[in-house]
Amino acid sequence: MNSNPIYNDCLQNLYQLRRFGIKLGLSPIRKILEGLGNPQNNFACIHVAGTNGKGSIASALASILHTSGYHVGLYTSPHLVRFNERIRINNQDITDNEVVTAYNAVSSVCKDNFQLTFFEYATAMALYEFARQNMDWAIIETGMGGRLDATNVVQPILSIISNISLEHQIYLGSTLAQIAGEKGGIIKNDAPVITGVKQKNALSVLKEIARTKSVQIYCLGKEFRVKKTKNQTFTYFGIDTVWPQMQTGLLGSYQVDNAALVLAACELLNRKSAKLPLESIRKGLSQNRWPGRLEVVCDSPLILLDGAHNLAAARNLAKFLHKNITNRKLILIIGILNDKPYAAMLRHLLPVCSKVILTRPKIDRSIEPQKLYDVAKKIISDVEIIPDINNAVEYALKTASPQDAVCISGSLYVVGEAKEALDGKVFLNNMDEK
């Protein structure tokens, strides 16, 4: 617990808003922002939606813009350990005092009979703080979907839709075309759209939305593409140019595709009179880090954190583990939320593991480990249930040899609790000495 009581009170009040659940729609956030003087109109904006890769893309763009000399805000969700992670300015989490300032500003315009959800409140705080601190740019990641997401009050310079797979079907629809329609809701007039969506039915929906908005859509594999070389290095064949020897600082072959969307965005921003020198683009892309996504926090044993929270992400993680963790015993710690296809996720991940520890994050939407056990035991023989994540991490580290690997996954909430558990471990403090 933070020692600042005012900060703690603000967070307690914010977290209590979660009881209002998810309420899609823009009317509440618009009313609050109007009361704040419409701060979202005070900076240039890039809006990022998609099923996976949103945070990686958004953080890379923020890194490149900041490296190029701009003041940059970054709004993402969820946080892993501390709320402050959601709102970043010039690659740094906002301070506790800045959280309090933004919270109080939003609170001052909320009416007693007007209740925001947690995400609406946090979004208003971010937009207020970006304006208050005079950002040149803000990179805004959607929370869910796009059309009715609270972030969809911004008027972006350009929009990015990373990819689409089945998710949040209760809210977004049961088909890829329906989900594409929701995510495509961020497409605005006068703001070109960049996408990595490949499925024909989903892409046709996005193209139709772009047509009705009279904006150009740029598709990975058509208007721009990449050729991977080795490790995370690739050549980018762009809309206007070719950039060889580019490199992303994030692990996973799929991050090269994410990087391609980032570079296409850089090209379009330069068309719109932003000044992003190639060397700043190279540096910002290669130095970008995004916690909890194939994040290595120790090498003996190898400890890897990846919030693979849906089927597409689980497939990508399984491919990475199969290719890169070849000479180590692999222990998987996993907990999954109840709106995810847990059986399919386990069927992809468990065959590459030697042992699995089933756990659950504290959030009320998590699946009981016993339910996971019934599926896991049919795939792998060495299965244990340790419901508390801290205890699961402790047990894995006690039983793993220095040559083993421990992967913690299934949800960003699992990763967040694991990061807290790992923060106090002595071996992490000595990583830089290795």
Task: Sketch the domain layout of the chain as residue ranges.
Answer: 5-287, 295-433
Mean pLDDT, the chain, whole residue set: 92
Sheet holding 233-237, edge to edge: 225-228, 233-237, 242-247
Distance in angstroms (rounded) separating the CA atoms of residues 134 and 149: 24
Closest CA to 89 of 65, 119, 55, 118: 65
What are the backbone angles phi and psi of residue 328, rounded to the nearest 5°? -130, 150
Distances (CA, A) of 176 to 205, 324, 350, 388, 403: 9, 31, 27, 35, 42
Question: Are the C-beta atoms of residues 87 and 73 closer than 8 Å to each other?
Answer: yes
Kindly give the pairing relationship between strand 44-49 and strand 158-161.
parallel
Q: Give just the sign of the alpha carbon dihedral 239, 243, 245, 248.
A: negative
User: Residue 414 is inside which H or E element, if any?
Assistant: helix 412-423
Closest CA to 101 of 140, 133, 134: 133
Q: Is the pLDDT of residue 172 over 80?
A: no
pLDDT score recorded for residue 364: 85
Distance in angstroms (rounded) separating the CA atoms of residues 400 and 382: 14
Average confidence (pLDDT) over 386-415: 96
Least confident interval from 23-27, 141-145, 419-423: 23-27
Distance in angstroms (rounded) separating the CA atoms of residues 247 and 249: 7
Q: Around 297, how many Cα atoms within 13 Å sit in the side-chain half-sphere?
A: 26
Q: Is the pLDDT of residue 20 over 70?
A: no
Closest CA to 103 of 80, 77, 74, 132: 132
Query: Each residue of 75-126: pLDDT tens digit?
Result: 999 999 999 999 999 999 999 999 999 999 999 998 765 678 999 999 999 9
Query: Please, which residues have CB within 8 angstroms of residue 188's CB and are 6 or more apart in sequence?
Result: 155, 156, 159, 213, 215
- Both structure tokens of 2: 């933070």
Q: How confident is the model at residue 431 (pLDDT cuts 50, 70, 90)?
A: very low
Question: Are the C-beta atoms of residues 272 and 11 closer than 8 Å to each other?
Answer: no
Architecture of domain 295-433: Alpha-Beta Complex (3.90)
pLDDT score recorded for residue 19: 62
Residue pointed to by tokens 């939320």:
337
Pick 169 or 352 by higher pLDDT.
352
- Both structure tokens of 148: 């009715």
Query: Each residue of 349-397: pLDDT tens digit?
Result: 999 999 999 999 998 889 999 999 999 999 999 999 999 999 999 999 9
Q: How confident is the model at residue 434 (pLDDT cuts 50, 70, 90)?
A: very low
Q: How confident is the model at residue 232 (pLDDT cuts 50, 70, 90)?
A: confident
pLDDT score recorded for residue 426: 46
CATH number of this structure's domain 5-287, picked from the four choices 3.40.50.980, 3.40.1190.10, 3.30.160.20, 3.30.1330.60: 3.40.1190.10
Query: Each residue of 236-279: pLDDT tens digit?
Result: 999 999 999 999 999 999 999 999 999 999 999 999 889 999 99
Average confidence (pLDDT) over 139-154: 94
- Both structure tokens of 257: 């595709």
Q: What is the DSSP letter of 300?
A: T
Query: Which 3 state secondary structure label does DSSP give 6?
Result: helix
Least confident interval from 11-25, 139-153, 298-312: 11-25
Query: Each residue of 198-228: pLDDT tens digit?
Result: 999 999 999 999 999 999 999 999 999 999 9
pLDDT score recorded for residue 367: 96
Query: Each residue of 26-76: pLDDT tens digit?
Result: 999 999 999 999 999 999 999 999 999 999 999 999 999 999 999 999 999
Query: Where would I find the beta strands (DSSP E) of 60-173?
Result: 72-75, 87-89, 92-93, 137-141, 158-161
Distance in angstroms (rounded) separating the CA atoms of residues 238 and 270: 13
Distance in angstroms (rounded) separating the CA atoms of residues 46 and 135: 13
Query: Radius of gyration of the chain from Cα atoms?
Result: 21
Determine how many CB atoms are found less than 10 A away from the CB of residue 340: 21
Distance in angstroms (rounded) separating the CA atoms of residues 200 and 162: 15
Q: Is the pLDDT of residue 425 over 70?
A: no
Q: What is the DSSP letter of 339?
A: T
Could you tell me what percent of the chain has a pLDDT over 70? 94
Question: Are the C-beta atoms of residues 5 and 99 closer than 8 Å to each other?
Answer: no
Could you tell me what percent of the chain has a pLDDT over 90? 86
Q: For the residues of 173-186, what is the DSSP string, one character each?
A: -SSHHHHHHHHGGG
Q: What is the DSSP letter of 297?
A: E
Closest CA to 199 of 216, 218, 214, 180: 180
